[in-house]
């Protein structure tokens, strides 16, 4: 079979939460004008549902959707999508970064309440459910998000024990990225985020890096889009859809596929040791539901960016969804995980 490697950011479907809602499999993305966003409860990834809810950094723009709502509106992303993608996220995250992280954390001064971890844009808390059971020792997780609805889910489903059986506790904080100051990170051992960097601007990434560096706090930032998608078998329209999606990722100053490079430079500029590692989704017949939702968002964003694609994108999406349903489509959505080991400050963690 043929395979296409499409150089575009790949991360994000937005359409109906239930792919069976529309009789025409392409209708949820392509019918009518306007952004490729799901109705009512919007499902995360830009332009499709994102893994976590983004902290809103500027009024009127959610860092998790293609175009923020009215000023003051708190965007809401469907927990159904977040649950759907959580197993793929867990399988993709780069475990090769855990040993250097563990070694760094082992050198920190001990605290009575154990490691304090701040999870930024936590969504329903999938990052904590993945990472807390992989680290030894007591942990206290501080879950940050704009949306109280998702904070409720994150707290309710938080892990209760670490790898060695030690206790894990959580608290939630509503807030945006601009409030993640060195003072807010006082005493933190680690900052984490998942699927966040590529929906930030250069300024926002700089703010995050500066806050971590000033607090002497390392950062594990996972599942940032890498700007490439592999589809097997190939289709003549793959590359054009991918290019349009890539343009959509960079709309309004967002970093999109450039995020990991920008973050690495920002952290390195503060003296941090930075490591990056691939963390691709590998989607086959067993992930057909996730692939179908991802396809809807990927194509929908491309059409939003280039409306002239609409007429050809409808049949394309139907063909791709049919192949997916038949177990004949395989997709690799490339991401990159980044670990920034900031220099400890005098106050320690």
What average pLDDT does the segment 283-293 reach?
Answer: 96
Q: Say which residue the tokens 């692939």 belong to.
A: 291
Q: DSSP strand E in 10-146: where?
A: 115-120, 139-145
pLDDT at 7: 52
Assess whether pLDDT exceeds 90 at residue 179: no
- Inter-CA distances, 148 with 62, 77, 145, 270, Å: 15, 11, 7, 33
User: To the nearest whole percent, how much of the chain has pLDDT over 90?
Assistant: 66
Q: Say which residue the tokens 């499902």 belong to.
A: 43
pLDDT digits (tens, 9 = 90+) for 15-58: 222 333 333 445 445 543 333 333 222 223 333 333 222 222 22
pLDDT at 279: 98
Weakest-pLDDT range from 61-70, 143-152, 276-285, 317-326:
61-70
DSSP annotation string for 298-344:
HHHHHHHH-GGGHHHHHHHHHHHHHHHHTT--EEEEEEEEEEEEPPP
Q: DSSP strand E in the chain: where?
A: 4-6, 115-120, 139-145, 168-174, 190-194, 219-232, 273-278, 281-283, 330-341
- Inter-CA distances, 65 with 20, 24, 46, 119, 189, Å: 22, 24, 5, 19, 30
Question: What does pTM read for this prediction?
Answer: 0.81
What average pLDDT does the segment 79-105 reach?
Answer: 94
pLDDT at 37: 31
pLDDT at 4: 55
């Amino acid at each position: 079979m043929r395979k296409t490697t499409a150089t575009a950011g790949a991360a994000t479907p937005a359409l109906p939460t239930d792919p069976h809602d529309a009789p025409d499999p392409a209708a949820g993305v392509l019918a009518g004008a306007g952004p490729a966003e799901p109705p009512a409860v919007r499902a995360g990834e830009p332009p499709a549902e994102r893994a976590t809810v983004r902290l809103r950094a500027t009024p009127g723009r959610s860092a998790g959707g293609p175009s923020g709502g009215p000023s003051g509106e708190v965007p809401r992303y469907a927990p159904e999508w977040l649950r759907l993608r959580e197993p793929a996220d867990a399988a993709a995250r780069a475990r090769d970064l855990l040993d250097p992280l563990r070694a760094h954390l082992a050198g920190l001064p001990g605290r009575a309440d154990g490691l304090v971890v701040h999870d930024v844009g936590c969504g329903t808390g999938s990052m904590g459910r993945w990472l807390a059971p992989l680290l030894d020792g007591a942990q206290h997780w501080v879950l940050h998000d704009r949306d109280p609805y998702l904070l409720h889910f994150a707290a309710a489903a938080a892990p209760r024990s670490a790898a060695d059986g030690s206790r894990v506790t959580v608290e939630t904080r509503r807030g945006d990225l601009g409030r993640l100051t060195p003072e807010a990170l006082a005493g933190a051992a680690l900052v984490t985020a998942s699927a966040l960097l590529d929906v930030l601007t250069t300024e926002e990434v700089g703010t995050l890096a500066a806050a971590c560096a000033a607090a002497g706090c390392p950062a594990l930032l996972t599942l940032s889009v890498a700007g490439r998608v592999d589809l097997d078998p190939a289709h003549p329209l793959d590359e054009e859809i991918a290019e349009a999606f890539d343009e959509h990722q960079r709309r309004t100053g967002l970093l999109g596929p450039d995020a990991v490079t920008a973050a690495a430079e920002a952290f390195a500029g503060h003296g941090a040791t930075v490591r990056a590692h691939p963390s691709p989704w590998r989607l086959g017949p067993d992930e057909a539901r996730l692939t179908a939702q991802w396809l809807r968002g990927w194509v929908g964003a491309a059409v939003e960016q280039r409306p002239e694609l609409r007429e050809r994108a409808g049949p394309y999406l139907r063909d791709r969804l049919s192949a997916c349903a038949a177990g004949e489509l395989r997709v690799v959505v490339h991401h990159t995980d980044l670990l920034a080991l900031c220099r400890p400050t005098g106050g320690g963690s």
